[in-house]
Structure 1
Amino acid sequence: MLCPRSVLITGANRGIGLELVRQFLQLETPPKHVFATCRSPGKAEDLHTLAKSNGAVSVLKLDVSDPDSFQGVREEVEALLQGSGLNLLINNAGIISRDDLSAVTIQKMESLFRTNTIGPLFLAKEFLPLIQKAAKASTGLPMSCTKSAIINMTSKVGSMDDNRSGGRYPYRISKAALNMVTKNLSVDLKSDDILSVSLHPGYVKTDMGGPNALITSEQSVQGMINVMAGLDEEKNGLMLDYAGKIIPW
């Protein structure tokens, strides 16, 4: 059963992030705190509508490409938690590029690395004390997303084993690097009983995935919610898709 007391979701203004907020609020035991973050809260009308209808939602400004701002966001979250820890961090925000070898540039590589890889790593580092606090509050319970976990939203195109078509240099490489972040965290934080897993949401009909994608945000998130509910120590450090299938690195 998935029932974290608190969850922070990046990129929560639209698509998968917004649907994650919706479905966490629909859990049998919903979180007391859902920290829904995005780069431009003033433009996040759907997110604000959710927040107005549910007091558990706090809409916070967070640009994952700007690690210098993370401390301020962590302080906001810490104040709202009132002494409790953060059970679940979902690094969902990301950007895509389909540049092939002829089009890829240093600037594009740097941009995607900053958002897709560096941002999630340093956000996990910034919030680690709060995640550790949540884990310590549940001493004796097994590893789970209810207790304490970091979920990094990856992509199957970041799998070297699955790469049959090449191209997409910035996106593929930044997601492959994010998978290494996940694996490292799973090793380094195991002694704290903190899970770290990469989730592939599938090919989803969002602004990023486009209208020809295979599944809706609702289908993707429902699958990932079910996967998160079943995560345990045996799945720590893995890359899984929204149906729970292991994706080789």
Structure 2
Amino acid sequence: MNSIVVTGCNRGLGLGLVRSLVGRQDPPRTLIATCRDPDKAQELREIAEKHRNVHILSLNVRNYDSFKDFATQVSEIVKDDGLNVLFNNAGVSPKYTRINYVKVDQLLETFQTNTVAPIMLTKALLPLIKKASEKNAGLKMSCKRAAIINMSSILGSIESNKDGGLYPYKCSKAALNMATASLALDLKKDDVLVVSLHPGWVKTDMGGNNAPLGVDTSTESLVDLLHDMGPAHNGGFYQWDGKQLPW
């Protein structure tokens, strides 16, 4: 892929995705990594200092009014080539999630970050994504042509829900999965690949220390999957190792 935007790159999976992308033998020509405060993202800035293809842009995904200006900044970087991949990675998970403890503000804030933000950021960057698809019309539907990747979770699978609880996170990710399905249908005519991915249970601030997967294991596999996906994956839900998941 020539270009990719990854949101939420100051730590965890977002930072891991940046490390995995720049560490490949065929790294993207342009990697735009976002975070709310670049001054506090020391490790990300160190990566950018070593890799000239990495551009750090400030983005608060809940500040929807900033998306137009952000799209302009991305356009100035990718120019006439458009944007090959938008990876909506930024997300949150509230601490209290059982029905007796869940609060309205937890639900609203989680939906704003995990569902509303990916949809509205996709809308803002869609002209650049379609431009990339048109620019690479000779390629099949893939991340090399144009793609929107939503970082979901197995916890957003209705069929796999056996434990209840986790209302803000589970509901927001189930809604994100629906957005993936709708976008895949709406953008099929433009040959834009749209997929939901589950990174696995990963050792991050969100996943906790008991998680079985390390960040690098998850993100390196996810990046491999990005390169392997094609038309058959469009509108699907897959985990880090390529296994298809139930909605």
Tell me, yes or no, whether TM beats 0.5.
yes
Structure 2, unaligned runs of 5 or more: none
Match of 1:146 in 2: 144
Distance 2:34 2:196 in 1: 20
CA–CA distance in 1 between the matches of 2:158 and 2:13?
A: 24
CA RMSD of aligned residues (A): 0.8
The aligned residue for residue 100 of structure 1 is 98
1:46 is aligned, of 35, 39, 43, to 43
Unaligned 5+ segments in structure 1 are none
One of 12, 29, 39 as aligned partner of 1:15: 12
CA distance in 2, matches of 1:81, 1:224: 23
Aligned match for 1:65, one of 62, 66, 69: 62
Match of 1:185 in 2: 183
Match of residue 229, structure 1, among 227, 234, 242:
227
Deviation string, structure 1 residues 201-229 (Cα, Å, up to 9, x no partner): 00000111111111001000111112212
What is the percent sequence identity of the aligned residues? 44
Please point out which of 71, 75, 79 is paired with 1:78.
75
2:172 matches 1:174: yes
TM-score in terms of structure 1 length: 0.97
Distance in 2 between residues matched to 1:135 and 1:53, nearest whole Å? 30
Distance (Å, rounded) in 1 between the aligned partners of 2:110 and 2:79: 35
Count of aligned pairs: 246
Hey, what does 1:25 align to over in structure 2? 22
Match of 1:134 among 128, 132, 135: 132
Secondary structure of the corresponding residue to residue 83 of structure 1: helix
Runs of 4+ in 1 over 4 A off after TM superposition: none
Deviation at residue 150 of structure 1 after TM alignment: 0.4
State TM-score, norm by structure 2: 0.98
Counterpart residue type for residue 98 of structure 2: D
In structure 1, distance between residues paired with 2:11 and 2:150:
17
Counterpart code for 2:29: K
Whether the 8 Å contact between 2:137 and 2:145 is mirrored in structure 1 is no
Please list the CA deviations of residues 94-146 of structure 1 after superposition, one character each: whole Å capped at 9, or x if unmatched.
00024110011111110000000000000100000000000001112110011
CA-CA distance at 1:66 after TM superposition: 1.4
In the TM superposition, residue 13 of structure 1 has moved relative to its aligned partner by 0.9
Residue identity matched to 2:67: F
Q: Which letter maps to 2:103? A: T
